């Protein structure tokens, strides 16, 4: 179970890293005649059509979003050309061949598969940065509380308890919505990671505080102090390593929670601008029941989120720990 989780997580990371090579089309390229196009059906080699091929889609009715396969001209897949793993022939000068849309097209006629891969980069990068920030903040504040004790400990513990008790979604929602609605992508990235870190640190800090508070009574700390180690050295070199397991577990649990938080915020229109592909902004385009019913491939990012959460659940359950708290 644990191994399966690791593999799945590694796969998602690899795929997002290799997005430019793996995606058959650029993520921002629009195909005006293929709005809401369904996923391309790839056919095996046949007598009159060598190699893996597909039939290009012809728009029948723009209003009804109806397409028809053009069976006369099979389009052959090109492997390892134009710096992509697989694509269709895009020879300069000639007429452009129809695109390979593995997961269909979105309302602007963009390749959902390509956007999913590129979106993974933003979504995962945000989640990783926010997780690191939350763990770092939690480790510093938690170990300060555990090491100092007394009033500082009381103050920090009360604050973190208060943040912990509140439903995280609403804290994130409130903090995000009091900021300006439209922000440049870089600012949004920083703002969201700051908000997520703010919501995430108390979970980390509480555990670290407990571990540091009990460890500092141990003999090795007294020994360290006896040879003249200062508080900084004691905490970083001796006490924090004791909390390493806790920090790793919390990081694993926070990662999917933050991916989900980004998706939720972007879904309700408080996340990234919709020119930036992320799993959340992609889901936002699937925001009506009729659309979801007719073009379910627009829910592809939901599948990606499911895979990441599943991977983490496999990892954590395989290690025999408590299940993921489903609160972003």
Partner 1 sequence: MPLFVARRLLLAILFIFAVSSAALLLTRLAPGDITQQLGPFAHPDEVARERARFDLDRSIPAQWGLWAWRAARFDFGQSYLYNRPVRGLVRRAAANTAVLAVTAIALATLVGIPLGILTGTRRGALTALVRGASLICLSLPPLLTSLLLVFVAARTGWLPPGGMTSVDAVGVSWSAWVLDVARHLPLPALALAMPLAATFERLQSQAVSEAVREPFVLAAAARGVPPRQLVVRHAWRASLRSICAVYGLAIGALLSGSFIVEYIAAWPGLGRLMYEALRARDIYLVAGCAAMGGCFMAFGSVVADLLLAAADPRLRERSFQ
Return residues touching partner 1 (CB under 8 A). 162, 165-170, 173-175, 177-181, 260, 263-264, 267-268, 283, 286, 289-290, 292-294, 296, 299, 302, 305-306, 309-310, 313-314, 317, 322-328
Min CB(139)–partner 1 separation in Å: 24
Question: What are all long-range contacts of 165-171, with beta carbons under 8 Å and residues at least 24 apart?
Answer: 167/327, 168/199, 168/257, 168/261, 168/327, 168/328, 169/261, 169/264, 169/327, 169/328, 171/198, 171/199
Among residues 179 and 236, whose Cβ is nearest to partner 1? 179
In angstroms, what CA-CA distances link 289 with 64, 108, 300?
16, 18, 15
**168 versus 208: smaller Cβ distance to partner 1:** 168
Nearer to partner 1, 181 or 227 (CB): 181
Closer residue to partner 1, CB minimum distance, 75 or 168 = 168
Q: C-beta of 110: minimal distance to partner 1 in Å? A: 20
User: Among residues 80 and 306, whose Cβ is nearest to partner 1?
Assistant: 306
Cβ of residue 278: shortest distance to partner 1, in angstroms?
14
Nearest approach, Cβ of residue 310 and partner 1 (Å) = 4
Could you give the CA distance from residue 126 to residue 193 in angstroms, rounded to a whole number?
6
Distance CA 13, CA 290 (A): 33
Give 78 or 160: the residue with its C-beta nearer to partner 1: 160
Query: Taking the complex as a whole, how short is the minimal distance between the CB of residue 309 and partner 1, in angstroms?
Result: 4
According to DSSP, the residues that pair with 76 across neighbouring strands are 53
Minimum distance of partner 1 from residue 16's CB (angstroms): 19
Cβ of residue 286: shortest distance to partner 1, in angstroms? 7
Backbone torsions φ then ψ of 70, nearest 5 degrees: -90, 100
Find all residues with CB under 8 Å of 278, minimum gap 6, and list them.
Answer: 119, 122, 123, 126, 262, 263, 266, 271, 272
Instruction: Name 86's bridge partners.
Output: 79
Supply the minimum distance, in Å, between the C-beta of residue 55 and partner 1. 25
Burial class (CB in 10 A: 0-12, 13-18, 19+), 318: middle
With respect to partner 1, which residue has the nearer C-beta, 190 or 299?
299
List the end-to-end C-alpha distance of the chain, in Å, as a whole number: 24
Q: Helices H, strands E: what count in the chain?
A: 12, 5
Q: Which is nearer to partner 1, 137 or 309 (CB)?
A: 309
Q: How far is the CB of 90 from partner 1 (least distance, A)?
A: 34
Give dist(CA 130, CA 136) in Å, integer: 10
DSSP one-letter code for 67:
E
The half-sphere exposure of 258 on its side-chain side, counting CA atoms within 13 A, is 32
> Residues near 102 by Cβ (< 8 Å), separated by ≥ 6?
24, 39, 40, 111, 113
CA 30/CA 102 separation, integer angstroms: 15
Of 17 and 302, the one with the shorter C-beta distance to partner 1 is 302
């Amino acid at each position: 179970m644990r191994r399966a989780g690791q593999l799945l997580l590694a796969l998602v990371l690899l795929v997002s890293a290799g997005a430019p090579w793996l995606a058959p089309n650029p993520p921002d390229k629009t195909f005006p005649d293929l709005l809401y196009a369904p996923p391309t059906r790839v056919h095996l080699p046949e007598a009159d059509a060598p190699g893996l091929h597909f039939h290009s889609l012809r728009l029948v009715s723009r209003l009804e979003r109806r397409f028809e396969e053009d069976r006369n001209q099979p389009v052959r897949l090109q492997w390892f050309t134009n710096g992509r793993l697989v694509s269709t022939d895009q020879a300069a000068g000639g007429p452009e061949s129809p695109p390979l849309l593995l997961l269909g097209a979105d309302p602007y006629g963009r390749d959902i598969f390509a956007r999913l891969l590129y979106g993974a980069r933003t979504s995962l990068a945000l989640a990783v940065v926010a997780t690191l920030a939350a763990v770092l903040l939690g480790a510093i504040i938690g170990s300060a509380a555990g090491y100092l004790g007394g009033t500082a400990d009381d103050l920090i513990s009360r604050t973190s308890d208060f943040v912990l008790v509140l439903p995280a979604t609403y804290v994130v929602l409130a903090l995000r919505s009091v900021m300006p609605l439209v922000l440049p992508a870089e600012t949004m990235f920083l703002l969201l990671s700051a908000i997520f870190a703010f919501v995430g640190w108390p979970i980390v800090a509480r555990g670290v505080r407990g571990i540091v508070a009990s460890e500092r009574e141990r003999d090795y700390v007294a020994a360290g102090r006896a040879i003249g180690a200062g508080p900084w050295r004691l905490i970083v070199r001796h006490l924090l390593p004791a909390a390493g397991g806790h920090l790793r577990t919390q990081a694993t649990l926070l990662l999917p929670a933050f991916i989900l938080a980004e998706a939720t915020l972007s879904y309700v229109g408080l996340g990234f601008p919709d020119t930036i592909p992320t799993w959340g902004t992609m889901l936002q385009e699937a925001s009506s029941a009729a659309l979801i019913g007719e073009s379910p491939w627009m829910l592809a990012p939901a599948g990606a989120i499911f895979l990441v959460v599943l991977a983490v659940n496999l990892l954590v359950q395989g290690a025999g720990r408590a299940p993921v708290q489903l609160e972003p």
